[in-house]
Chains A and B, each alone.
Chain A
Amino acid sequence: MDADVRQMTWTELAAVCTNLEKACTKQLRGEEAATFAKLAAFYEARQEMKSDATMQNLVALIDADLSSGYRAANDVAETDADRGSKRALLWGEKATKLLKSLLVRYEKQGAKLTENTGVFVCEICGFVYVGDTPPEICPICKVPSFKIHPVRKEAI
């Protein structure tokens, strides 16, 4: 079953392109990677601001993934004995739980949460870490820490 380009948002289109860009890079096909990078940039340039952008709405979407989206997909993966999908769902669900926890903690503590500490994201699975030094091996996908990158506060 194909994804329907006409039904996809600019951000969905960008994400499928950045994924294929990464695949081409791993195959050392620079020219093809560049084409997908250009496509992703084309779609990202069209991204619009959302009118319903509140923390509450963001947390509600994450909650919906955790309570129903991942469960439904996991059931299908179980029925199909599809271990590849199970793998992606397991990693994604764990990273999603960490995003939820990050937002809940930020809501409580505000700027104090990251006042004297770093925040890191794993480029492979989306694992999020708040602390000074990320773990040597990503606890979700087990990639070495050179693929876990700091996200810095930027002055406006």
Chain B
Amino acid sequence: MHAARNLRLCSKDCVCLFICPTGATNTENGQIDFEKCLDGCRLCVDACPSGAIYLVSSTYPKPQSKSDAMTESIFALAASKAEQEDLARTIGAQSDDPSLRQICKVVEMSSRIIAEDLWRESGYIIAQSDAATRLLEAMLAEHGLMEGFPAEAVKALINARR
């Protein structure tokens, strides 16, 4: 577990620089040096007057389990959102009216965001979930030989999990 800084909240009071025993909080890019940060130390987290430092876990619990009926109806909605995204993208691409293209872009983006949230609620909330690993394996099996598939990166990720 290492500390990380939320730069939007950081008020540059530098208390984390005073208290860090390894200098991990003092860097040129504003983020904490994860290599130098001591596992679980959290001195800077507790010292920060603006609540801008938090701990990032290295391990995560399994996501909450869902009933098959729940997952199934969420998948159905996610599929519908994908179809809406496809329709909006096509309508936009086939028009040369900037205002229609803008509306289609909005529908495309919003549909994707709604779909992502649905996926989040059906076992794919984190990449460390078993469902996400099985998804990667299925993608590799189905599409691994197609041109442009990032097979090496996907294999590395699967191997890191197994």
Q: Give residues in A with beta carbon < 8 Å to B.
A: 1-6, 8-9, 11-13, 15-16, 18-20, 22-24, 27-29, 32, 34-36, 38-39, 42, 45, 47-50, 52-55, 57-58, 61-62, 64-65, 69-70, 72-73, 76-77, 79-80, 82, 84-85, 87-89, 91-92, 95-96, 98-99, 102-103, 106, 110-111, 113-115, 119, 121-128, 146, 151-156
Contact = CB atoms under 8 A, between A and B. Distances in A.
Given A16-B124, A85-B121, A61 B87 contact: yes
B118 A146 contact: no
6 contacts: A23-B125, A23-B127, A64-B80, A88-B117, A111-B99, A156-B98
A23 B150 CA distance: 19
B43 interface: no
B110 A128 contact: yes
Interface string B106-144: 110111111111111111111100011011001100110
Interface residues of B, number: 81
Contacts of A54: 87, 91
A29 B56 CA distance: 10
A156 B101 CA distance: 10
4 nearest A-B residue pairs (beta carbon): A53-B90, A19-B116, A126-B110, A126-B113
Nearest to B60: A27
B35 interface: no
- Interface majority SS (helix, strand, loop, mixed), chain B: helix
B26 interface: no
Contacts of B89: 47, 49
A80 B70 contact: yes
Contacts of B99: 106, 110-111, 113-115, 153
B57 to A, nearest CB: 8
Given A123-B113, A146-B8, A62 B84 contact: yes
A35 B98 contact: no
B101 A27 contact: no
Contacts of B4: 28
A65 B110 contact: no
Contacts of A88: 74, 117-118, 120-121
B41 interface: no
A42 B155 CA distance: 15
A126 B114 contact: yes
A57 B139 contact: no
A98 to B, nearest CB: 8
Contacts of B60: 27
Contacts of A52: 87
Contacts of B132: 20
